[in-house]
Amino acid sequence: MNATPPRSHRAARPRRRHLLALGAAAAAALLITGVFVIAGDSRPQRIGYFADWNVANRDFTVADLAHSGAPARLDRLMWAFGDVSEDGLCHVPGGHDQSWELYQRRYSADESVDGEADEYEQELAGSLYQLRLLQAEYPDLRASLSLGGWNWSRYFSTAVRTEESRRAFVASCVDLWLRGDLPVREGEPQGGEGAAAGIFDGIDLDWEWPGGSGNPHNVEDPADAANFTLLVAEFRRQLDALARETGRDYTLSASLSGAPGQADAYDPEIFDHLDFATVQGYDFSGPWSEATAYHSNLYPPASAPGANSADAAVTRFVDRGAPPEKLVLGIPAFGRGWQGVDGADHGLGRPAVPADDAYDGPTMAFSDLEEMDGERYLDEEAGAFSVRVGDQWWTYDDPGVIAIKGDYVLGRGLGGLMVWNLDMDPTGDLVRAMDESLG
């Protein structure tokens, strides 16, 4: 099986590669168990995305998240996703299912975080009320509402087109998600002004992507990248105004692509307004690839020195002027697979077709991959992992890879680790590894 390499060995590559890059900051660094940790008050963040739609699709509730043990090890929960309407405003999409699961569904005692059944007349129910209960149990756990994602970034371009539209868009997001003004629908007693107030203290901008190459259904404009910078500034302005009003701090973050060329779409000025940004350290390969390849490797494998990697993605943003301490490296709680793979080179780089018997096409949850009975291989130099079962080959992050990536984050002075997404890690094993790797 995959034994975790000694800490000193895992730290050697990040420390050697980035010692010079630390520059003057290295003088203020501490050498602890073979890893450079930048001195300061900031603690690397532990962040996890909760995919709200999987309450219905995979029957993974907030109570299941509580039972996993992950909330005790997380600093911030990213709630995915908030939608942008065709008019360029934040809204809860129409239709019964979305609003019902989000804030109208009454939970029974055995479904609820606190073991008590919801009452019919309470002004907030659904998964948002369960999140409020979770925060009562874990008062240090903060939550951001993440806007967009792959499917709901369609009208970001519309929302940011003009100064007037940006102001209206941001104001609608503040009212809906931070002030908690939920719509009242279909005669149900839930919703109304302030019904969800205080649950979220942050907004996460997951526009995929302002530089293009996102969902082919997205509305696009040549000015999208420049307008994204203006959008970030407008969010910062309105969040600061809200903070003066409420006396509470509000967090602004963004999700950034790890694909080559995407970093150029982001003006470094965005980091003047963001508290942090997550960099997607995954999806480097997938069903579009004609041969097996790691999809979340930290470094290029020896057999493919030009391959994309998490380190390359981070470096592209640092080279563009991003402060390393504001970059949080994203890790996947899912793997990607191929079939028709022969056994050479542990199955890496072999011609194949996407696996067709997985959770979502050629994608499978970490928890299911860990149960596979096959040949497992930890590529310590690439910071990647694979398992071969018959003629299928899967690549994903196991706790050993997370340990390597945690050392990397410490070695580069990054802002922490983020996992997408928590329902694929139902026993909290990856979150535990993430937490332990960051010290």
* Domain residue ranges of the chain, discontinuous segments joined by +: 44-437
- Whether the CB-CB separation of 266 and 302 falls below 8 Å is answered with no
CA distances from 80 to 51, 102, 145, 255, 389 (A): 5, 11, 7, 12, 32
Q: What is the pLDDT of residue 129?
A: 98
**What secondary structure does DSSP assign to 80-126, as a single string?**
EEEEE-TTS-EEPPSSHHHHIIIIIPPPPGGGSTTS-PPPTT-S--H
pLDDT value of position 109? 98
H helix intervals, 298-428: 310-319, 366-370, 399-412
At 4 the pLDDT is 30
d(CA 434, CA 403): 7
Give CA–CA dist 434/46, Å, rounded: 7
Q: By the 8 A CB rule, do 79 and 55 touch?
A: no
Q: E strands within 150-213?
A: 202-207
Give the CATH class of 44-437: alpha beta
What pLDDT does residue 321 have? 96
Whole-number pLDDT of residue 360: 55
Among 272, 271, 378, smallest CA distance to 9 is for 378
Per-residue pLDDT of the chain (439 residues; tens, 9 = 90+): 333 322 222 233 333 223 223 333 333 333 333 333 333 458 999 999 999 999 988 899 999 999 999 999 999 999 999 999 999 999 998 766 789 999 999 999 999 999 999 999 999 999 999 999 999 999 999 999 999 999 999 999 999 999 999 999 999 999 999 999 999 987 899 999 999 999 999 999 999 999 899 999 999 999 999 999 999 999 999 999 999 999 999 999 999 999 998 999 999 999 999 999 999 999 999 999 999 999 999 999 999 999 999 999 999 999 999 999 999 999 999 999 999 999 788 999 999 999 985 445 689 999 999 999 999 999 999 999 999 999 999 999 999 999 999 999 999 999 999 999 999 999 999 999 999 999 9
Alpha-carbon span 309 to 281, nearest angstrom: 7
Measure the CA–CA gap between 71 and 48, rounded to whole angstroms.
9
